[in-house]
């Protein structure tokens, strides 16, 4: 607490930044772990209802795939957009975490500059009775904010890249799911259409044969 007071008001701003950053990290970590657990359940049983975004994407594929007017590319585009919207909730907060990580060193530098200004003002006020201890004390107190800012930025930046990497992996898995399942849905629909056309052709042929015998 003493160091916070000696570092000046910027130290309290940095403290607030660190608390906010830790809160975002905890929030996103829980969210990411939940989605990964849902993915494991989905791989074990795709028909399970508690698979979150994975089940939602599969359901969207089934619904969109039933539309005969959609081509395979259009089906993939529609469902990919749906998956992207679902993924935005997982990405929410990462931009703010990155901003806090990049902002912390600059806040620390600002605190150092303010501290150095105050130290030289005290030195100027001492006039001819210059005491090196006054300057040294002011400098080390000013440097506290830079050290504090960097110590906050490093873990926040590390957490951001780790979480962002996990989200990228989830995005890749979703894209793979959309590509594989859309082809399966499209193939099933094509098979059903072919079977239906074959049945209609057989019925028409039977009717024509019956009319020929009647004549």
Write out the chain in H/E/C secondary structure. CHHHHHHCHHHHHHHHHHHHHHHHHHHHHHHHHHHHHHHHHHHHCCCCCCCCHHHHHHHHHHHHHCCCCCCHHHHHHHHHHHHHHHHHHHHCCHHHHHHHHHHHHHHHHHHHHHHHHHHHHHHHHCCCCCCHHHHHHHHHHHHHHHHHHHHHHHHHHHHHHHHHHHHHHHHHHHHHHHHHHHHHHHHHHHHHHHHHHHHHHHHHHHHHHHHHHHC
Mean pLDDT per segment of 10 residues, for the chain of length 215 residues?
Answer: 72 93 96 90 81 81 68 76 85 93 93 83 68 69 88 96 93 85 72 49 45 53
Question: What is residue 2's predicted lDDT score, i.e. its pLDDT?
Answer: 67
Whole-prediction pTM value?
0.76
Question: What is residue 205's predicted lDDT score, i.e. its pLDDT?
Answer: 46
Question: What is residue 22's predicted lDDT score, i.e. its pLDDT?
Answer: 96
Question: What is residue 68's predicted lDDT score, i.e. its pLDDT?
Answer: 65
């Amino acid at each position: 607490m003493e160091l916070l007071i000696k570092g000046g008001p910027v130290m309290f701003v940095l403290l607030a930044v660190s608390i906010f950053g830790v809160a975002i990290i905890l929030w996103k970590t829980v969210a990411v772990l939940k989605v990964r657990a849902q993915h494991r359940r989905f791989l074990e049983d795709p028909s399970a209802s508690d698979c979150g975004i994975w089940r939602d994407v599969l359901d969207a594929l089934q619904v969109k795939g039933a539309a005969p007017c959609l081509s395979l590319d259009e089906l993939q585009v529609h469902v990919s957009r749906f998956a992207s919207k679902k993924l935005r909730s997982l990405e929410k907060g990462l931009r703010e975490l990155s901003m806090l990580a990049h902002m912390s060193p600059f806040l620390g530098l600002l605190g150092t500059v303010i501290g150095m200004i105050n130290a030289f003002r005290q030195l100027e006020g001492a006039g001819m009775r210059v005491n090196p201890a006054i300057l040294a004390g002011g400098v080390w107190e000013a440097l506290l904010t830079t050290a504090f800012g960097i110590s906050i930025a490093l873990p926040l930046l590390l957490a951001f890249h780790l979480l962002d990497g996990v989200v990228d992996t989830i995005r890749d898995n979703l894209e793979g799911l959309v590509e594989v399942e859309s082809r399966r849905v499209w193939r099933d629909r094509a098979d059903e259409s072919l079977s239906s056309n074959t049945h209609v052709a057989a019925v028409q042929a039977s009717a024509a044969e019956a009319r020929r015998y009647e004549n």
